[in-house]
Amino acid sequence: DAEITQSPRHKITETGRQVTLACHQTWNHNNMFWYRQDLGHGLRLIHYSYGVQDTNKGEVSDGYSVSRSNTEDLPLTLESAASSQTSVYFCASSANSGNTIYFGEGSWLTVV
């Protein structure tokens, strides 16, 4: 079955380190998204991509970057991890505008 997978599922890292969260989907979806979810804030969009070589900033993009070198993957990089980036990160994808967005299982990141 086609799916969307995230790795690692859980990570603890130190302040200042670079961290990359992987997202891989096998649906051949054009659109991919990264959200973070925090108590009191809900899901907030970090970055998104409408296709290969396309990336866009979302609501809370500072300190994060993404790259889209192929259809299947949208890795999220924290350039220099900060404690404020401790959160649950969800990757998501959809085929086209108007279609359902499907979420990965989430990556729990703790920055100490």
CB of 8 to another protein, least distance (A): 15
Q: Which of 24, 25, 48, 64 binds another protein (CB under 8 A)?
A: 48
C-alpha 71/C-alpha 13 separation (Å) is 28
Site for another protein in 50-79 (CB under 8 A): 50, 58
CB of 18 to another protein, least distance (A): 25
Beta bridge partners of 73: 24
What burial letters (b/e) apply to 57-71, b meaning 16+ CB within 10 Å?
ebebbeebebebeeb
Q: Which of 1, 14, 83, 98 binds another protein (CB under 8 A)?
A: 98
Site for another protein in 4-33 (CB under 8 A): 31, 33
Contact between 41 and another protein per CB under 8 A: yes
Question: Count residues contacting another protein (CB under 8 A)?
Answer: 23
Tokens found for residue 18 = 């670079």
For residue 85, the SS3 value is helix
CA distances (Å), origin 75, targets 41, 64, 70, 110: 23, 10, 11, 18
Tokens found for residue 38 = 């925090």
- Residues of this chain that interact with another protein (CB under 8 A) are 31, 33, 35, 40-43, 45, 48, 50, 58, 90, 94, 96-98, 100-106
